[in-house]
Copies of this chain bind each other. A is one copy, B any other.
Amino acid sequence: MIVLKLGGSAITEKDRPETLDGKSLATAAAAVSSAFGATNDNGGGNAIDDLVIVHGGGSFGHHNASEHGVTTTAGSHDPAAVHDIHGAMTTLNEFVLSRLLEYDVPAVPVHPFSTAHRDADGDLTLPSQQVATLVEEGFVPVLHGDLVAHAGEGVTVVSGDELVVDLARSLDADRIGLCSTVPGVLDDADEVVSEISSFDAVADILGESEATDVTGGMAAKVQALLELEPEASIFGLADIEPFLAGDEPGTTVR
């Protein structure tokens, strides 16, 4: 089982509201299709048969969430906020699904707003048996950063990264891939750090992402991934295909 995250900034123009990066999305879809199709042609049984995709919000979700003042902890009780933010994310999800279907990936939508919730402490519950069943039946479920019901707060944001970490645990994933706009975690000389095994060793080179991002940047990603059992790779668009083929491109967090 592989959980692949397509970063919101990798598939959208993050600085321009609700603007798709169509070329990057097509590159990602082609890479997924190639890995998925190659396995099917060989009749093989390797991990690429079981794939879950999660995409971020990029310029679709973050600007809307900022306008409504909604974050992962500060909520809203306004149905218009749900309509705007969740609506923008489902619009992006439809673009991602359409492109994957064009490339013969059997992608189907799973909207976190319809299934997940947070308790009063903010702890996320994300049912995953529907995702597991879809995977077993040969589909590729595609989740996304979204809003979720939050006890006492109305609705709050759930990031793609939080979903990836939760799904990796509940689905007992073998590998996690995070496709970003950069080829990995970069050091001070802009070289890719090939391996990270503790946060302290890289704390000084990890900053926040520059564009509006209500859900944290690279530092938060690395911290969350370090707590997981399976290895995780952070890489750029060009490395989706080698990652799915079993390589360890970019930065490996273990």
Within 8 A of B (CB), among A82-133: 82-83, 86, 97, 101, 106-118, 125, 127, 129-130, 133
Which residues of the other chain, B, contact A80 by a CB distance below 8 angstroms?
Answer: 101
* Candidates B117, B129, B136; contact of A130 at CB < 8 Å: B117
Quick check: A115 and B127 within 8 Å, CB to CB? yes
Quick check: B149 and A130 within 8 Å, CB to CB? yes
A178 interface residue per 8 A CB criterion: no
Bound-state CA distance A18–B107 (Å) is: 24
A41 interface residue per 8 A CB criterion: no
A191 interface residue per 8 A CB criterion: no
Quick check: B111 and A111 within 8 Å, CB to CB? yes
A169 interface residue per 8 A CB criterion: no
A77 interface residue per 8 A CB criterion: yes
Quick check: A101 and B79 within 8 Å, CB to CB? yes
The stretch among A30-38, A150-158, A219-227 that forms the contact with chain B is A150-158
Q: 10 tightest CB-CB pairs across the interface, nearest first?
A: A115-B115, A114-B114, A133-B149, A79-B106, A117-B130, A117-B133, A127-B127, A111-B114, A134-B149, A110-B114
